[in-house]
């Protein structure tokens, strides 16, 4: 095998490997769609209904490790169980999907509170 043939083979192998990995990843995700009671299941009209269990909220989950502002892998309108051990942690929590990807979840209520606070600060600053 010549150097050119070897390079072409290696490129073709790498491309095929990447395609196969994407196919397998998609199949695993499709086979493991979160069900009600598992973090990552779809919100129903901005609500998470999990029996009488508390501390579930509808919001946005971002991949842990993304740079600020990156929406790669972001999941919107999903439910996640959140920790209620501290005063503010009720509004966010972490979870992991079937592939082991970790997400940080922020509830819509917390997002709305932050947006309201930012708007209030901007309005106050504009009045100065």
Residue 12 in domain: no
Residue 63 in domain: yes
Residue 38 in domain: yes
Instruction: Give the pLDDT score at 70.
Output: 85
Q: Residue 100's domain spans which residues? A: 32-127
Torsions phi, psi for 7 (to 5 deg): -65, -40
Residue 11 in domain: no
3-state percent helix, strand, coil for the chain, nearest multiple of 5:
40, 25, 35
Residue 111 in domain: yes
Tally of domains within the chain: 1
For the ranges 51-55, 59-63, 68-72, 116-120, which has the lowest average pLDDT?
Answer: 116-120
Q: Note the pTM of the prediction, 2 decimals.
A: 0.60
List, in sequence order, every residue forming a beta bridge with 95; answer none if it has no partner. Answer: 103
Q: Residue 105 above 90 pLDDT?
A: no
Residue 116 in domain: yes
Residue 22 in domain: no
């Amino acid at each position: 095998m010549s150097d050119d043939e070897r390079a072409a083979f290696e490129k073709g192998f790498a491309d095929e490997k990447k395609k196969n990995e994407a196919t397998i990843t998609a199949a695993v995700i499709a086979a493991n769609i979160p069900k009600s009671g598992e973090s990552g299941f779809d919100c129903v009209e901005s609500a998470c209904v999990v029996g009488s269990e508390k501390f579930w909220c509808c919001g946005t989950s971002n991949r842990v490790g993304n740079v600020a502002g990156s929406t790669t892998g972001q999941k919107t309108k999903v439910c996640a169980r959140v920790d209620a051990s501290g005063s503010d942690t009720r509004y966010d929590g972490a979870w992991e999907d079937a592939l082991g990807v970790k997400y940080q979840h922020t509830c819509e209520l917390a997002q709305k509170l932050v947006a309201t606070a930012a708007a209030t600060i901007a309005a106050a600053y504009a009045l100065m």
